[in-house]
Amino acid sequence: MADPKGFLTTPREEWPRRPVEERVRDWNEVYVPGALLPIVSAQADRCMDCGVPFCHQACPLGNLIPEWNDLVSREDWRAAAERLHATNNFPEFTGRLCPAPCEAGCVLAINQPAVTIKNVECAIADRAWEEGFAPPAPPERLSGRTVAVIGSGPAGLAAAQQLTRAGHTVAVYERSDRIGGLMRYGIPEFKMEKRHLERRVEQMRAEGTKFRTSAAVGRDVDATELRARYDAVVIATGATAWRELAVPGRELAGIHQAMEYLPLANRVCEGDLESSPLSAAGRHVVIVGGGDTGADCLGTAVREGAASVTQLDIYARPGSERDEDAEPWPTYPRLYRLSAAHEEAGELRTAPAADADARLFAASTLRFTGDGGGRVCALHLVEVDAGRRTVPGTERVLPADLVLLALGFSGPDRGDGLVDRLGVELSPRGTVARDAGFATNVPGVFAAGDAARGQSLIVWAIAEGRAVAAAVDRYLTDAPSRLPAPIAPDDRPMRV
């Protein structure tokens, strides 16, 4: 740290977001371009270079946070980029999308605002691309061994990059028409512009990774043939089987899953569609589900020109301060957080919604009613207490002609038949079962990411990809791997 008193003299300052009126008129990222670099070195200088850096422990990737904070405070961007890429293949993704468990664990957060670790990470990653500090790193020698990675989300991409760099010949099979998993179709452009994804895919191509799109293994590509053709297979197919809401009226038109709605908005941004067939334009939108997927629906509906919007959360409104008894530092606390999307609802919030950010807490959906023509027109809800018991006399009705269900995911989608054709066993939770070495019950077949861990986060998916690559490398070479393995399959995240 250049200034040992930085944390005493410099207040926390985050990358500023563009004014709401401006950003809701486009799909670009919400941040002010170019506004991070001038503030970030002083922010990195707030780091105390702790003897026991809890930030490092809180990060599934084991990011060397105090080291790169120091390098950024001294403006040594090349060395910072090298330290960052030593543990994270895709820091521009996590620098934009991670909920930053590292910041919840930062020692400074005990009694003052944490170091802006995520912003520092993003600044290093972006600077690395600008300055050419992240060139392709093809292997010096090929091993002659082949690997098929099924799924091109962050887990599959991280596994493929690690294995390619280790000298194996890797092909990524993706059922969608573009690479990226939920980062491509799911996460909206305003959270991460897809040009970041394109740039990494180009880097991986230059290193030798092959990509096969529109290739659903189990449907378009025979799974057993694939297993026979490659020396090892990694299943990284995500956990996209969505949860349902079994209440009366669910069958009405106008009620959709978030993941039916969000990818269409992504396709508009990609230029595939002029407008989304499920566009929220002019509609009264109610989003059922209080998580990040629901917030992504909110920001998308606002940009599409919704008439009104409400997001329902079954949990009570959390407090703004950490509850030291229930969630002591360094755990990740459940706090009232205002995401960029929540700042944007403003006048669009449905009149009876309680909060200015369009969220209605402790709300449970009872039923939907239709307009007589088979289309939803209203959502009936009731307040619930902490034990999810309904509070008598609190029933109310919201106008709703577009309802989006964002209730989470239960496990891998089995529609393609991949799991059954390969004969891999599932865990009692419905995820792909694997042992302590990331191996499934089928010899040579490994599993990583949400498909095996269950619905999680990008940072965990990248950590899984890196760890499964080390396991596959060991299997292929029958020798200890030089690839790092940041996590074990049963490591549990801090609740985020």
Picked from ligand SF4, ligand FAD, none, the partner binding residue 107 (CB below 5 to 8 A depending on kind) is ligand SF4
**By the rule CB under 6 A, 54 interacts with ligand SF4:** yes
Looking up tokens 């049963």, which residue turns up? 490
Window of 37-45, 214-222, 281-289, 334-342 that interacts with ligand FAD by CB under 6 A = 214-222
**By the rule CB under 6 A, 68 interacts with ligand SF4:** no
CA 348/CA 325 separation, integer angstroms: 37
**By the rule CB under 6 A, 186 interacts with ligand FAD:** yes
What's the gap between Cα 266 and its chain centre?
A: 15
Non-local CB neighbours of 38 within 8 Å, separated by 6+ positions: none
Strand segments (E) across 241-289: 241-242, 255-257, 284-288
Residues within window 98-137 making contact with ligand SF4, judged by CB under 6 A: 106-108, 115, 117
> Looking at 187, 234, 252, 280, which residue binds ligand FAD (CB under 6 A)?
187
Shortest distance in whole angstroms from residue 59 CB to ligand FAD: 12
Instruction: Indicate the residue type of 471.
Output: A
- C-beta closer to ligand FAD: residue 399 or 411: 411
Instruction: Indicate the residue type of 228.
Output: A
CA 117/CA 102 separation, integer angstroms: 7
CA 136/CA 133 separation, integer angstroms: 10
Q: Cβ atoms within 10 A of the Cβ of 179, count?
A: 22
Picked from ligand FAD, ligand SF4, none, the partner binding residue 350 (CB below 5 to 8 A depending on kind) is none
**By the rule CB under 6 A, 60 interacts with ligand FAD:** no
Window of 42-50, 85-93, 168-176, 443-451 that interacts with ligand SF4 by CB under 6 A = 42-50
- C-beta closer to ligand SF4: residue 53 or 238: 53
**Residue 384 carries which DSSP code?**
B
- C-beta closer to ligand FAD: residue 151 or 399: 151
Size of the site for ligand SF4 (CB under 6 A): 15
**By the rule CB under 6 A, 48 interacts with ligand SF4:** yes
Tell me how many degrees the CA angle 405-409-412 measures, rounded to the nearest 5.
135
DSSP 3-state of 16? coil
CA 315/CA 185 separation, integer angstroms: 27
- C-beta closer to ligand FAD: residue 76 or 198: 198
Picked from ligand SF4, ligand FAD, none, the partner binding residue 449 (CB below 5 to 8 A depending on kind) is ligand FAD
DSSP 3-state of 339? coil
**Residue 31 carries which DSSP code?**
B
- Spatial contact of 417 and 223, defined as CB atoms under 8 Å apart: yes
**By the rule CB under 6 A, 44 interacts with ligand FAD:** no
- Spatial contact of 134 and 203, defined as CB atoms under 8 Å apart: yes
- C-beta closer to ligand SF4: residue 180 or 330: 330
What is the C-alpha radius of gyration for the chain, rounded to an integer number of angstroms? 23
- C-beta closer to ligand FAD: residue 295 or 306: 295
Burial of residue 328 (number of CB atoms within 10 Å: 0-12, 13-18, 19+):
exposed
> Looking at 152, 203, 279, 311, which residue binds ligand FAD (CB under 6 A)?
152
Shortest distance in whole angstroms from residue 367 CB to ligand FAD: 26
> Looking at 87, 240, 300, 364, which residue binds ligand FAD (CB under 6 A)?
240
User: Which is it for strands 232-235 and 241-242: parallel, antiparallel or unpaired?
Assistant: unpaired
Residues within window 267-296 making contact with ligand FAD, judged by CB under 6 A: 292-293, 296
Non-local CB neighbours of 316 within 8 Å, separated by 6+ positions: 361, 362, 386
> Looking at 64, 100, 148, 150, which residue binds ligand FAD (CB under 6 A)?
150
Q: How far is CA 210 from CA 203, 205, 237, 464, in A?
A: 11, 6, 17, 20
**By the rule CB under 6 A, 50 interacts with ligand SF4:** yes
DSSP 3-state of 399? strand
Size of the site for ligand FAD (CB under 6 A): 40
> Looking at 55, 64, 182, 353, which residue binds ligand FAD (CB under 6 A)?
182
Shortest distance in whole angstroms from residue 334 CB to ligand SF4: 21
**By the rule CB under 6 A, 432 interacts with ligand FAD:** no
Shortest distance in whole angstroms from residue 292 CB to ligand FAD: 5
Picked from ligand SF4, ligand FAD, none, the partner binding residue 48 (CB below 5 to 8 A depending on kind) is ligand SF4
**By the rule CB under 6 A, 467 interacts with ligand FAD:** no
Written as six digits, the tokens of 488 are 């074990």
**By the rule CB under 6 A, 353 interacts with ligand FAD:** no
H helix intervals, 107-191: 117-131, 154-165
Interaction site with ligand SF4 (CB under 6 A): 47-50, 53-55, 65-66, 69, 106-108, 115, 117
Interaction site with ligand FAD (CB under 6 A): 97-98, 150-156, 173-176, 181-183, 186-187, 191, 216-218, 236-238, 240, 262, 292-293, 296, 416, 418, 449-451, 456-459, 461
